[in-house]
């Protein structure tokens, strides 16, 4: 048996000005061939699980590429072509395909990055079964449904079940190949834009939907996935989906998809997040810190790295300084120009320079950089190893990093946008985040498993950047209307 296994992950924020060239997919571009295998073997990605499953089967593995980039703007045309061409070129002669995809990729020439790839793979291997693992925030399309035999998504957000999802998808594919199962797909997509902060799987309506999916699996469905979608993509339907893999009975799978989708639609108001004013959030954090012996987290979800944020929006820091907060650690802030200037100045130098506010934001005019005066405390290569629970063991790349102490706050400035996956974001540059009074993080969710245990409290802060929760900030042109909550009286009727 010869199995094609590949990884192509990108969550595209079409409103983000952050470019996505080929170099963004990894430390310096994708891993190709044998390097793609090594990058995933022994790790906790869905591709890792595919590799393990195929090796247990005694199969010959073909691993043309592993490409994963932080969320950002549309993928460059040449980058998308290079990754897809490598996968399609490896297809001839393969008996099965296992793809670790995100599900919300938009390229400059494709509004349906995964669907277009799957159509090409299907054309190259008409008879070979195709299994796909997707992120919980995938935007499912008809083309994806038409060209895959098995689709399984993460059930957790923050995502800690990537490997388990790959394991699940691989098991169903192999069961099909050995005649133990007959996977059939059913799909529903209510016209509902969900706020990412309302897609956490441990609470609220999303939790109830995921639990309904688990119950349906326990009652006989091969897989049931609830995909919250990624609404910061100007495509026809960046909406929530339910995908069901039934066992030979298409009508039963369809009924499950309809039932769970109807449950979601009936609770649609709970999938919308409404932010407090930034100044009120900062004041709340100040109050919480009065008697705290641990840091208070201020999560800048309006400039969230893992939704395509620029990580250079300085609104939160400016608001915190205006209210007199001290003992702050802020970062990672992405500003390659500032990093270069700090490196040129050297450790120990006192400098004044503009930091952040350099990339245009949807719905707002140009902003003046934040003028920072302070002492350069450290300069590093910006690399560290993630300790988990997400991407455990993988090397992280922030680009070159510099630490600027401005008195009331210590700023970690990097060349790349970077999610604070790990305490290593700060420890790798000589900062102990436990000693901060306030931690200002460019994050929404992925920091929580690591930083909440060391914190006294958490406050969500909306800086009204390109990942803000207010849909009025964004100009949708391709979005199919009506859609909830933009059209509050929207009704949904299915066949």
Q: What is the pLDDT of residues 57-74, one digit of tens each?
A: 999 999 999 999 989 999
Q: In 3-state terms, what secondary structure has residue 318?
A: helix
Architecture of domain 2-271: 3-Layer(aba) Sandwich (3.40)
C-alpha angle 93-96-101 in degrees, rounded to nearest 5: 115
Per-residue CA distances from 125 to 74, 150, 315 (Å) = 28, 15, 51
Angle between helices 278-289 and 315-322 (to 10 degrees): 60
Q: What are 82-120's pLDDT values in tens digits? A: 999 999 999 999 999 999 999 999 999 999 999 999 999
Which strand (E) or helix (H) includes residue 209?
A: helix 204-218
Q: Say if residues 223 and 152 touch (Cβ distance below 8 Å).
A: yes
What is the rounded CA–CA span in Å between residue 193 and residue 269? 10
What is the rounded CA–CA span in Å between residue 122 and residue 133? 16
Length of the chain, in residues: 495
Pull the structure tokens for residue 285: 């954090």
Query: What is the residue-level pLDDT of the chain in tens, covering all 495 positions?
Result: 999 999 999 999 999 999 999 999 987 899 999 999 999 999 999 999 999 999 999 999 999 999 999 899 999 999 999 999 999 999 999 999 999 999 999 999 999 999 999 999 999 999 999 999 999 999 999 999 999 999 999 999 988 899 999 999 999 999 999 999 999 999 999 999 999 999 999 999 999 999 999 999 999 999 999 999 999 999 999 999 999 999 999 999 999 999 999 999 999 999 999 999 999 999 999 999 999 999 999 999 999 989 999 999 999 999 999 999 999 999 999 999 999 999 999 999 999 999 999 986 655 556 899 999 999 999 999 999 998 777 788 888 899 999 999 999 999 999 999 999 899 999 999 999 999 999 999 999 889 999 999 999 999 999 888 999 889 889 999 999 999 999 987 678 765
Residue entry with tokens 């000693």: 435
DSSP summary character for residue 355: E
Pull the structure tokens for residue 447: 């920091």
Residue entry with tokens 């130098």: 349
In sign, the C-alpha dihedral spanning 455, 460, 466, 469 is: positive
Backbone angles phi, psi at 61, to 5 degrees: -100, 140
Residue 485 preceded by cis peptide, ω within 30: yes
Per-residue pLDDT at 394 = 81
Nearest CA-CA partner of 461 in 302, 348, 264: 302
What is the rounded CA–CA span in Å between residue 90 and residue 88? 5
What is the rounded CA–CA span in Å between residue 114 and residue 11? 11
Domain positions in the chain: 2-271, 278-468
Q: In 3-state terms, what secondary structure has residue 419?
A: coil
DSSP-assigned states of every residue in 217-276: HHTT-SEEEEE---SSS-SS----EEEEEEES-HHHHHHHHHHHHHHHHHTGGGG---PP
Q: Which residues make beta-bridge pairs with 355? A: 370
Pull the structure tokens for residue 482: 């009506």
Q: Say if residues 241 and 187 touch (Cβ distance below 8 Å).
A: yes
DSSP summary character for residue 182: -
């Amino acid at each position: 048996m010869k199995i094609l296994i590949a990884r192509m992950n990108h969550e595209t924020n079409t409103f983000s000005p952050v470019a996505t060239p080929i170099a963004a997919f990894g430390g310096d571009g994708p891993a190709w061939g044998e390097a793609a295998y090594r990058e995933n073997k022994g790790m906790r990605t869905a591709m890792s699980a595919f590799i393990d499953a195929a090796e247990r089967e005694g199969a010959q593995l073909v691993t043309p590429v592993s490409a994963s980039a932080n969320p950002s703007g549309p993928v460059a045309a040449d980058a998308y072509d290079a990754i897809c061409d490598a996968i399609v070129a490896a297809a001839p002669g393969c008996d099965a395909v296992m793809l670790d995809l995100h599900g919300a990729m938009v390229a400059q020439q494709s509004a349906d990055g995964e669907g277009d790839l799957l159509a090409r793979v299907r054309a190259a291997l008409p008879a070979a079964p195709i299994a796909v693992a997707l992120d919980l925030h995938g935007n499912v399309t008809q083309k994806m449904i038409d060209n895959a035999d098995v689709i399984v998504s993460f059930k957790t957000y923050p995502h800690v079940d990537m490997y388990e999802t790959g394991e699940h998808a691989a098991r169903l594919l192999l069961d099909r190949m050995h005649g133990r199962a007959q996977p059939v797909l059913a799909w529903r997509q209510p016209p509902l834009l969900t706020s990412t902060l309302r897609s956490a799987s441990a609470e609220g309506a999303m939790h109830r939907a995921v639990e309904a999916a688990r119950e349906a699996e326990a009652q006989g469905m091969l897989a049931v996935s609830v995909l919250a979608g990624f609404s910061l993509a100007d495509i026809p339907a960046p909406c929530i989906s339910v995908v069901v893999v039934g066992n030979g009975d298409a009508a039963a799978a369809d009924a499950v998809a309809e039932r769970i989708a109807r449950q979601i639609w009936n609770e649609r108001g709970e999938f919308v997040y409404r932010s407090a004013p930034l100044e009120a959030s900062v004041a709340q954090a100040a109050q919480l810190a009065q008697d705290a012996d641990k840091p208070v987290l201020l999560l800048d979800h309006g400039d969230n790295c893992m939704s395509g944020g620029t990580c250079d929006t300085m609104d939160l820091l400016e608001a915190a300084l205006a209210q007199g907060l001290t003992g702050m650690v802020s970062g990672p802030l992405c500003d390659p120009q500032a990093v270069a200037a700090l490196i040129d100045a050297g450790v120990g130098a006192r400098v004044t320079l503009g930091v952040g506010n350099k990339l245009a934001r949807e719905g707002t005019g140009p902003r003046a950089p934040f003028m920072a005066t302070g002492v350069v405390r450290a300069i590093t290569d910006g690399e560290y190893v993630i300790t988990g629970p997400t991407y455990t063991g993988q090397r992280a790349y922030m680009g070159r990093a510099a630490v600027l102490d401005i008195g009331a706050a210590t700023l970690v400035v990097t060349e790349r946008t970077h999610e604070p996956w790990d305490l290593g974001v700060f420890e790798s540059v000589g900062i102990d985040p436990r000693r901060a009074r306030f931690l200002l993080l460019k994050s929404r969710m992925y920091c929580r498993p690591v930083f909440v245990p060391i914190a006294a409290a958490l406050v969500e802060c909306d800086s009204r950047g390109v990942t803000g929760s207010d849909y009025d900030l964004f100009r949708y042109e391709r979005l199919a209307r009506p859609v909830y909550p933009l059209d509050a009286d929207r009704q949904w009727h299915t066949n």
